[in-house]
Amino acid sequence: MSIIRARWSLVVLVIALTTLTALGVSLMLPKRYVAAASVVVDAKPDPVSALIYPGLASPAFMNTQVDVIASDRVALRVVRDLRLTELPELRQQWQEAQLEGTMEQWVADGLRGNMDVKPSKESNVLTVTYKSPSPQVAATMANAFVKAYLATSLDLRVEPARQYAGYFDIQAKTALEKLEAARAKLSAYEREHGILASDERMDVETARLNELSSQLVGLQALSSESGSRQGQAARGADTLPDVLANPVVSQLKADVSRAEAQLQQLSTRYGDNHPQVIEAKAAVADTRAKLRAETSRVTGAVAATNNINKQREAETRAQLDAQREKVAKLKLARDEASGLMREVESAQRAYENITTRLNQTSLESQTTQSNVNVLTEATPPRAPASPRIGLNTALAFVAGVILAVGIALLLELRDRKVRDADDVMAVLPLPMLGVLPAPGKRQPSSLPSVERRLLGHATSRGAA
């Protein structure tokens, strides 16, 4: 503090120069205005797919949006939207700079240097700021960056959807060709084998097969029965049920019985050689001949019936075998046709799925809405953001104080001076007898602290 008091004029001068210099520089610096616009990333479901946008709760998603806003694509879009390359002064500056690359890229790099984007800590709001010497330009550029970001965000959604739509369009055409080929193959197979996918031919043929099987069983029973009767007729026709049940045979048997009874009466009465007896014998023989003929006819009918039944059985068995072969072929054809039908159904499902995805991606490629909306638009600021004269002056004052103290200490290190009794005692290892007052000053009534210490030191030495 003694050093600062000794060099107070230098300290004040350094502080004044530093503060006034900062103040002058701040007043001379061009004013810079900052305009801010904000957007919000919405979490509502996608109107096309009805799905919530993924990753909205992740910090990486918001950081990605920050990178998108600060990208060359958004800056170049701002240049094109505002037609900045058509401004004569910018074109002249670019030509004078003689830089490599296009003018659009040069202007976009300049815009990016003045633009800044910051995400909110606990929300989905992004704030876009732009710094410019003109408040109107700052507001216009901030709004232009927000507008370009909205359009770019929509393009990032629409462009992949358009690519997918083109891909699914090609796949849909391929799937349709496969479906038509499968249908044509099925139709040709059905025409070739006489199969209709919509008729009940298989059921009809199966019913016919079952009917023939039933007929064959019935004919086999009849054939067995007729064969049994034919065998019985061969062993003895008299016991054959058909013969016993025949009314003609029964009548002839009755006639034979009556004729034999009458012959016996006549033989008993007249003898064997009587004309009536001879006539009665002839009548009995004639009746017996008729009975044998009728019995032979009945047994012959049994044999004919047996032959007919066997023939019908053979025909029915042949028809049954043919029907079985037909049904087997029909089943085989239907199985192959079913395989072709499954191919058609599979191709149909694939075509429908691809068509569904094509319609969805087509809708997504035509959407004009995104999950990013403008929250606030930038307006021309009233006060400049820089330079901050008060802050710069205060910081210059603090820096001037530190600089002034440092300079004073450095000068003191280079040129040491004795300013009080403590400095004398620190430099010279000799006893101090007293301190004279400065010229023009009165003697203090009380001794200074140094004199008291000296007096005490002298007293102690005298006692010793």
pLDDT tens-digit map of 191-227: 776 665 445 566 677 777 788 788 778 777 777 766 6
Distance CA(312)–CA(253), nearest Å, equals: 34
Each residue's pLDDT tens digit, 185-201: 878 877 776 665 445 56
What's residue 228's pLDDT?
Answer: 65
Q: Other CB atoms closer than 10 Å to residue 285's CB: what's the count?
A: 13
Close Cβ partners of 255 (under 8 Å, ≥ 6 residues apart)? 287, 290
Mean pLDDT to the nearest integer, 55-60 = 61
Tell me the β-bridge partners of 355.
none
Q: Which H helix or E strand runs over 233?
A: helix 201-235
What's residue 162's pLDDT?
Answer: 82
What's residue 116's pLDDT?
Answer: 92
Distance CA(238)–CA(404), nearest Å, equals: 162
Phi, psi of 379 (to 5 degrees): -120, 150
Each residue's pLDDT tens digit, 130-187: 998 889 999 999 999 999 999 898 888 888 888 888 888 898 899 889 888 988 887 8
Burial of residue 341 (CB within 10 Å: 0-12, 13-18, 19+) is middle
Give the CA diameter of the chain. 223
Q: Which H helix or E strand runs over 354?
A: helix 275-365
Asked if 260 and 277 count as a contact pair (C-beta separation under 8 A), the reply is: no
- What is the dihedral sign for C-alpha 177, 182, 186, 188? positive
Listed range (51-55, 61-65, 217-221, 388-392) with the worst mean pLDDT: 51-55
Inform me whether the pLDDT recorded for 457 exceeds 50: no
What's residue 230's pLDDT?
Answer: 57
Inform me whether the pLDDT recorded for 93 exceeds 80: yes
Phi, psi of 10 (to 5 degrees): -65, -40
271: left (phi over 0), alpha (psi -120 to 50) or beta: left
Phi, psi of 119 (to 5 degrees): -85, 150
Listed range (212-221, 228-237, 246-255, 302-311) with the worst mean pLDDT: 228-237
Q: Other CB atoms closer than 10 Å to residue 197's CB: what's the count?
A: 13
Inform me whether the pLDDT recorded for 234 exceeds 60: no
**Sheet with 33-41: strands ordered across:** 115-119, 125-132, 33-41, 372-376
Asked if 377 and 38 count as a contact pair (C-beta separation under 8 A), the reply is: no
Listed range (219-223, 391-395, 460-464) with the worst mean pLDDT: 460-464
Q: Other CB atoms closer than 10 Å to residue 187's CB: what's the count?
A: 13
Each residue's pLDDT tens digit, 284-305: 788 777 766 766 666 666 677 7
What's residue 143's pLDDT?
Answer: 93
Mean pLDDT to the nearest integer, 61-77 = 89
What's residue 76's pLDDT?
Answer: 92
Inform me whether the pLDDT recorded for 19 exceeds 60: yes
**Inter-CA distances, 179 with 95, 273, 369, Å:** 62, 107, 36
What's residue 217's pLDDT?
Answer: 82
Q: Which of 10-14, 76-80, 442-446, 449-453 has the highest mean pLDDT?
A: 76-80
Inform me whether the pLDDT recorded for 14 exceeds 80: yes
Asked if 129 and 115 count as a contact pair (C-beta separation under 8 A), the reply is: yes
What's residue 197's pLDDT?
Answer: 47
Close Cβ partners of 363 (under 8 Å, ≥ 6 residues apart)? 48
**Inter-CA distances, 424 with 306, 427, 431, 439, 455, Å:** 165, 5, 10, 19, 16
Split at pLDDT 50, 70, 90, the class of 78 is very high
Tokens of 129: 């700021």
Share of the chain above pLDDT 90, in %: 10
Give the mean pLDDT of the chain. 77
